[in-house]
Amino acid sequence: MSPFKMAWRNLWRNRRRTIATTSALTLALLVTVLYSSMLEGYLVNMISDSLDYEIGAAQVFAEGYQEKPSIYTSMEDSEAIVNRLEKAGLPATERLLGAGLAAAGDSSAGAQLLGVDVAREANVLTIHLQIHQGQWLDPEDPSGVVLGRKLANTLGVEIGQELVVLSQRTDGGIANELYHVRGVLRNVGDMTDRAGLFMTAPAFRELMSFPQGAHQILIKRQPDMLLPQLKQMAQQLAQGRVVQTWRQLIPALATMIDSSRGMILFMFFILNVVVGIVISNAMLMAVFERIKEFGVFKALGASPGSVLLLIYLESMMQVMLAIVLGGLVSVPLLWYLSTVGIDMKQMAGISVMGIAMASQWKAIVTPQTYGAPVVMMLLVVSIAVIYPSVKAAFIKPVEAMRYH
């Protein structure tokens, strides 16, 4: 009889133990796959939301702007930089930044003024899609502004109502203009929610007497481009300007994501330690139950290697059964979690690291979602059966026959 047939036959001599062991392995694999795919979905969505809403994959600044933001510290050649980036296949957009006071009726609040290139911004960010009420900016409506949700609530304004923006112009004069509320954003991030006031770039230039240049250039990364590659290319095209990737702009978020991915591996380790204990115990019990059988097997001339092979085959067959069963059970669950997801609307308004949580939490399935748990399980089981298989392989036939 071939070793494979013998191993398969031995598995079902004690159906209860085989079913229990295989079920434990299947459950461990299923939990690991679901956990890793959901956490990966959460992390990827957090990254994409922060990048797509406000930050971009990388940003370009004038020297010294980040250390001491000022409307006077700008890049006068920003238009040329953006053109070079676009010719290199990197969508980019300028942003004009300032601070002021927004007032409506008896209410007022500090505001972060953001002048945007409406056409280009749509190719880099998705904040124009995050409208809660009203509409996004329109170049044909220069007096229309879009507010962060909390800022709109603080001012008590609704769509179509007017507000006054006060600030200091770059020429030293007082900026004082009347605008109407064109749209209100949904929760996208703490700073934008509390103080974001968006207007078209021409409206910002007229308000602040800022005829040319920009304070910030946001860059979108191509899907197959690594961050170091993006930074290197942007530095060459920006010609001496400061270029930083999102990991440098928000290091706390980058650290949290790295730690979370480390937590996935730690979860794999804990679950597979349990798997190792389960399989080692099951195989040790199987060895002790069949100790006389192994004695006879060796007395008939079986080598220690053939006994080792038999034990390993039995263990691997249980793992393969668990992989098949785990895959069959996980496919519909992952399909649901990746297409429908978990409704997080009750968490609306809650932010993590200053980034608003998405209303739907969806899983992301990658080759690693299955590959990493399967490889780790195979490795752990291979290690776990060393002791039971060695004990069976090197037992002496005489001792085995006397075993009770």
pLDDT tens string 224-259: 888 899 999 999 999 889 999 988 888 887 888 888
Alpha-carbon span 96 to 117, nearest angstrom: 9
Phi first, then psi, for residue 184 (nearest 5°) are -130, 130
- Which range of 38-42, 44-48, 193-197 scores highest in mean pLDDT? It is 193-197
Alpha-carbon span 117 to 37, nearest angstrom: 37
Contacts of 337 (CB under 8 A, 6+ apart): 34, 37, 38, 41, 362, 363
pLDDT at 122: 92
3-state secondary structure (DSSP) of residue 126:
coil
> Where does the pLDDT of residue 140 fall: very low under 50, low under 70, confident under 90, or very high at 90 and above?
very high
> Where does the pLDDT of residue 404 fall: very low under 50, low under 70, confident under 90, or very high at 90 and above?
low
Question: Is pLDDT of 351 > 70?
Answer: no
What is the percentage of the chain residues whose pLDDT exceeds 90? 38
3-state secondary structure (DSSP) of residue 182:
strand
Which amino acid is located at 239 in the chain?
Q
Alpha-carbon span 375 to 73, nearest angstrom: 53
What is the percentage of the chain residues whose pLDDT exceeds 70? 93
DSSP H helices in 220-349:
227-238, 246-249, 251-289, 291-299, 304-339
Question: Is pLDDT of 268 > 80?
Answer: no
Question: Is pLDDT of 280 > 80?
Answer: no
Of 131 and 270, more confident: 131
DSSP H helices in 51-144:
78-87, 118-124
The label of the residue with tokens 């979905």 reads 41
Q: Which tokens hold the place of 193?
A: 């929610």
- Alpha-carbon separation of residue 155 from 38, 109, 227, 306 (angstroms): 39, 7, 40, 81
DSSP states along 158-174: -TT-EEEEEEE-TTSSE
pLDDT at 67: 87
- β-partners of residue 243 are 60
- 360 phi-psi bin (left φ>0, alpha ψ -120 to 50, beta other): beta
Which amino acid is located at 44 in the chain?
V
Which amino acid is located at 340 in the chain?
V
Contacts of 338 (CB under 8 A, 6+ apart): 37, 41, 362, 363, 364, 365
Alpha-carbon span 299 to 398, nearest angstrom: 9
Domain ranges within the chain, ordered by starting residue:
3-51+253-402, 58-220
CB 99, CB 112: distance < 8 Å: yes
